[in-house]
């Protein structure tokens, strides 16, 4: 039978005061109620804890032993309750985040850092994943949350807009178009365009290539053999341009720069959470929303 912790806590106060009147006043209950609690505790233990008379209260050997051993046990129980409550509130536990490589250029690190700094009880791990795999991993609970670029499909998940970034082109610093603050679609399409392998992110690949669909003469689009490898010699030599999101502006290989394209849609980053969400997922979403506002990731 589980001990009556309320009666036990009352007994500990009485063991300190050795006076029913003072102990009852300290607890904030009537003296008869305190006496009833102590009798209940003695009945549960099957032994007397106190020797009472009209003048004094004295602990028995069993009472003294209980008064000494109970406080650490109650403290451990309190910690267990606090741990359970904190875990249920999403304040403790392990948080696994999967992110696409493009999100690793600033979006994912910023969110992970904020989660760690504001939730010391959470153990946060973040791993890069192939974009098409992230939604399924969230739905199957292999990870708790994901960060993807583009309007990624997925069942059993919910998407929350996290960030919008401009689309532009990566090009050699000495390229003639690098002198412009913005580049027209038609001017960019006059050069061969290099895109990463479609398998890495079909949604974004199709969004980028669609920008040049109506250009005449048709744009010459080549697919890179290695996804996100923008260090090819033809790019650095100014022969080709590479359509890319704004994150490329902060992760430039030597000799390259980035310029926005004029009048094109933005690229969207989404936070991916399971459809059925726990308090932990709610905490992730709240932190992400605050971070996006503070860093200006979303338009007003």
CATH code: domain of residue 253: 3.40.190.10
Read off the pLDDT of residues 85-133 as tens digits, 9 standing for 90 and up.
Answer: 666 665 657 789 999 887 877 888 999 899 888 877 778 888 899 888 9
- Domain shared by 132 and 276, yes or no: yes
- Domain shared by 276 and 244, yes or no: no
Read off the pLDDT of residues 194-206 as tens digits, 9 standing for 90 and up.
Answer: 887 788 888 888 8
- Domain shared by 152 and 288, yes or no: yes
CA quadruple 30, 33, 39, 40: dihedral sign: negative
pLDDT over threshold 70, residue 268: yes
pLDDT band at 262 (very low <50, low <70, confident <90, very high): very high
| Domain-located, residue 300 | no
**Domain end: 46, 65, 88, which one?**
88
The total of other beta-carbon atoms located within 10 Å of residue 179's CB is: 8
pLDDT over threshold 50, residue 35: yes
Specify the length of the chain in residues. Answer: 300
**Whole-number pLDDT of residue 261:** 92
- Domain shared by 97 and 212, yes or no: no
User: What mean pLDDT is predicted for residues 204-210?
Assistant: 85
What does the DSSP assignment read for 90-135? TSSEEEEEEE-GGGGGTHHHHHHHHHHHH-TTEEEEEEE--HHHHH
| Domain-located, residue 299 | no
**Domain end: 88, 117, 139, which one?**
88
CA-to-CA distance for 53 and 21, rounded, in angstroms? 13
Instruction: Please report where in the chains the tokens 């933005």 appear, as a residue.
Output: 266
**Whole-number pLDDT of residue 226:** 47
- Domain shared by 123 and 182, yes or no: no
User: Residue 197's closest CA among 261, 106, 101, 107?
Assistant: 101
- Domain shared by 65 and 99, yes or no: no
CA-to-CA distance for 162 and 298, rounded, in angstroms? 7
**Domain end: 88, 120, 151, which one?**
88
- Domain shared by 185 and 255, yes or no: yes
Q: How many domains does one find in the chain? A: 3
- Domain shared by 274 and 290, yes or no: yes
Which range marks the domain in which residue 112 is found? 93-164+267-294
Percentage of residues in the chain having pLDDT higher than 90: 20
Q: Which of 126-135, 222-231, 233-242 has the lowest mean pLDDT?
A: 222-231
| Domain-located, residue 118 | yes
pLDDT over threshold 50, residue 230: no
């Amino acid at each position: 039978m589980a001990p009556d912790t309320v009666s036990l806590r009352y007994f500990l106060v009485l063991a300190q005061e050795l006076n029913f009147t003072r102990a009852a006043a300290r607890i904030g209950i009537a003296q008869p109620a305190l006496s009833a609690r102590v009798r209940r505790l003695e009945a549960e233990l099957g032994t007397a804890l106190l020797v009472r008379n009209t003048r004094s209260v004295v602990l028995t050997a069993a009472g003294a032993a209980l008064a000494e051993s109970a406080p650490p046990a109650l403290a451990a129980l309190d910690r267990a309750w606090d741990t359970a409550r904190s875990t249920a509130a999403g304040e403790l536990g392990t948080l696994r985040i999967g992110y696409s490589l493009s999100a690793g250029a600033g979006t994912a690190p910023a969110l992970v850092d904020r989660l760690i700094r504001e939730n010391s009880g959470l153990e946060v791990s973040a791993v890069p994943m192939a974009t098409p795999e992230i939604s399924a991993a969230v739905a199957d609970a292999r990870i708790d949350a994901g960060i993807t670029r583009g309007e990624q499909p997925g069942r059993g998940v919910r998407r929350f807009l996290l960030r919008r970034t401009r689309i532009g082109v990566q090009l050699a610093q000495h390229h003639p178009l690098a002198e412009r603050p913005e580049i027209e679609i038609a001017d960019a399409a006059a050069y061969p365009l290099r895109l990463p392998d479609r398998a890495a992110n079909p949604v974004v690949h199709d969004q980028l290539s669609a920008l040049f669909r109506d250009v005449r003469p048709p744009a010459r689009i080549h697919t890179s053999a290695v996804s996100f490898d923008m260090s090819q010699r033809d790019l650095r030599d100014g022969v080709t341009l590479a359509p890319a999101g704004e994150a490329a502006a902060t992760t430039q290989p030597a000799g390259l720069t980035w310029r926005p394209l004029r009048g094109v849609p933005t690229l969207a980053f989404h936070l991916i959470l399971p459809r059925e969400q726990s308090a932990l997922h709610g905490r992730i979403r709240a932190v992400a929303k605050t971070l996006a506002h503070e860093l200006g990731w979303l338009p007003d």
